[in-house]
Copies of this chain bind each other. A is one copy, B any other.
């Protein structure tokens, strides 16, 4: 068994939708390398820790959420020999989708964390440390793609939501407007995408809207379509 010196880490692309825009949680690095630069939250995998366990632990540390109910999925692994100036570090990237947090971002480890518009970061390929721009791009692309054929958009919503709130998620992630009428019909007619609760709300203004919670579907038939 040849165990070369090697670090194993996970990095997190934590996305949310706030103010109608797709945002990503970034931290400002307090220590070298890339001190003072923005980066994705992440950390090393502990011995005997599963990769997803590491990711959930990091997620809980950064967001303050008990991460059990948060959607988390592996995106890809990055292992270019020179991607970290400290030595060989291979990083497994995870994508997390969280609802708009009522509480502010919790302490994290002294480094400052904040929500940043994902499109702004993607437009500036030099803003992030390491190869995190690429990781973010891959994570966002994954999220955009999965909205089409999975009910994942509900992961951005609180437990109870209206159809137009769900539409707001699609519009924010895809960055384009959708027809409210056709969207409403499509969502409510797709089997097990959402389930009506029976109560209504007027928090979005106008006529009271029905409240829904997630359905039981894992894939959407037929899929939602982008433009």
User: What is the total number of copies of this protein in its complex?
Assistant: 2
Closest B residue to A90 by beta carbon equals B8
Quick check: is A128 within 8 A (CB to CB) of the other chain? no
**Which of B5, B50, B79, B92 is within 8 Å of A45, CB to CB?**
B79
| Measured CA separation A81–B49 after assembly (Å) | 6
A80 and B8 contact, Cβ closer than 8 Å, known pairs A3-B87, A44-B2: no
Residues of B within 8 A of A80 (CB): 50-51
Closest B residue to A92 by beta carbon equals B77
| Measured CA separation A48–B81 after assembly (Å) | 5
Chain A interface size, as a band, is: 20 to 34
Q: Mark A43-56, 1 if CB is under 8 A from B, else 0.
A: 01111111100000
| Measured CA separation A77–B32 after assembly (Å) | 28
Quick check: is A7 within 8 A (CB to CB) of the other chain? yes
CB distance from A35 to the nearest CB of B (A): 16
Q: Mark A35-79, 1 if CB is under 8 A from B, else 0.
A: 000000000111111110000000000000000000000101101
Quick check: is A4 within 8 A (CB to CB) of the other chain? yes
Residues of A that sit less than 8 Å from B by CB: 1-8, 44-51, 74, 76-77, 79-81, 86-88, 90, 92
Query: Can you report 12 residue pairs joining A to B where beta carbons are below 8 Å apart?
Result: A3-B5, A4-B45, A6-B6, A8-B79, A50-B79, A50-B81, A51-B77, A51-B80, A51-B90, A74-B76, A74-B77, A77-B92
